[in-house]
Amino acid sequence: MKRSVFTILLFLLASGAIAQVKKWQKGMLREEFIYDTAAFPSCHSATIAETPGGLVVAFFGGTKERNPDVEIYVSRQMDGKWSAPYSVANGIQAEGPRLPTWNPVLYQIPRGDLLLFYKIGPKPSAWWGMMRSSADHGKTWSEARPLPPGYIGPVKNKPVLLSNGNLFCPSSTEGEGGWKLHFEVTADQGKTWRKVALPDAGKEIGAIQPSILDHGNGRLQLIARSRNRALVTSYSTDNGESWSPLTKTSLPNNNSGTDALSMKDGRDVLVYNHVLPPGNLAKGARTPLNVAVSKDGNTWDAALILEDSPISQYSYPAVIQTADGLLHFVFTWRRQKIRHVVVDPSKLKLKRIENGQWPSLKGYVAPVIAEAKSEEP
């Protein structure tokens, strides 16, 4: 009897969540998994790029996060279908134990190679940056080469190529000094590097994994994950060479990754878990996964709910806009698969987010029956 009651309760809760989601899926054109089955049981941290040969997705997969068998996998879209994931990087060392790989980031150089940044190390506070390139749209890859000591490349989200030719890589560290944001900059496609620090990084607000919005005329904005129960932001008016102090936005954060970009029509899009953790907790369930749109990077409108379920997690999203104007989202689906969603931004139905509450979910909290376990801090 108890099992029957639980089954009915789970069904009712799931039905309510599905009903909420359907109200927020205008403009979604396609939903699919990158793969159905794979040789590894767990995956996370997807990234996506548009190449002249089609879309390419990368992510890490293995037994579970932090395991030495975790490798970087790539899947290519050809004729509308995704190839089976294939390994392009691992943590096998010439000397010493094998180590896990982490957080790949793809970037397509305009009229150039496809770059792959990733990390190797036992944990985020002790990893280092690696880089490979592909001249044939992800089919084959160059030898792996380490970034200079102290550099890890873009930590989770894609770089932005500025009008002055600088490739700005949003990055961060998680060492003994706390969570700190910084940028790693290259003007020659990764041959040489320099860093740009934030003035108060880690002092009052600890944040990691920033995204960059480009508002034009040298004005940039970062949006980052934090342990302060809110997404945080900072601004630059000189193409990223100096930044304002970090401040909290009105949007909640559950201590999970986000991504953002400036669209071709001048609006900004943000994908994140719109979740305020209970009480004073910094960490909350990674469901639902939401999309918001803004005209100024400050005031946001609710646009989409990509996923919502009593079963978490839907997390670590990435978003790009392809040449045809469509938005492509990829994200972790319950640590079991990578999900891909295509959206027409011109068809989104928007409603203002007020006081940090998602419009149609006031008073509604997505019930979490089973939280997917994660060792990530």
- What does the DSSP assignment read for 127-177? -EEEEEEESSTTSS-PPPEEPPTT----SSS--EE-TTS-EEEEEEE-STT
Per-residue pLDDT, 38: 96
Please, which pLDDT band fits residue 20 given cuts at 50, 70 and 90?
low
What is the rounded average pLDDT of the residues 13-22?
Answer: 58
Per-residue pLDDT, 176: 82
C-alpha distances in angstroms, 322 versus 193, 288, 302, 314, 374? 28, 25, 22, 23, 31
Contact (Cβ atoms closer than 8 angstroms) between residue 218 and residue 238: yes
In-domain check, residue 252: no
Tokens coding 31: 């939903």
In-domain check, residue 202: no
Is residue 372 predicted with pLDDT exceeding 70?
no
- Residue 104: give its domain's CATH number: 2.120.10.10
The domain of 93 spans 34-153
Enter the pTM of the model: 0.92
The type of residue at 293 is V
Other C-beta atoms lying within 10 Å of the C-beta of residue 191? 7
Which helix (H) or strand (E) is 6 found in, with range? Answer: helix 2-22
Q: In which region does residue 255 sit, left (phi positive, over 0), alpha (psi from -120 to 50) or beta (all else)?
A: left
Residue-wise pLDDT for 106-155, tens only, equals 999 999 999 999 999 999 999 999 999 999 999 999 999 999 999 999 99
In-domain check, residue 112: yes
Please, which pLDDT band fits residue 202 given cuts at 50, 70 and 90?
low
Closest by alpha carbon to 36, among 74, 1, 76, 85? 85
Residue-wise pLDDT for 63-88, tens only, equals 999 999 999 999 999 999 999 999 99
- Tally of domains in the chain: 1
What is the rounded average pLDDT of the residues 216-228?
Answer: 97
In-domain check, residue 116: yes
- What does the DSSP assignment read for 71-120? EEEEEEEETTEEPPPEEEE----SSS----EEEEEEEE-TTSPEEEEEEE
Is residue 7 predicted with pLDDT exceeding 60?
no
Please, which pLDDT band fits residue 310 given cuts at 50, 70 and 90?
confident
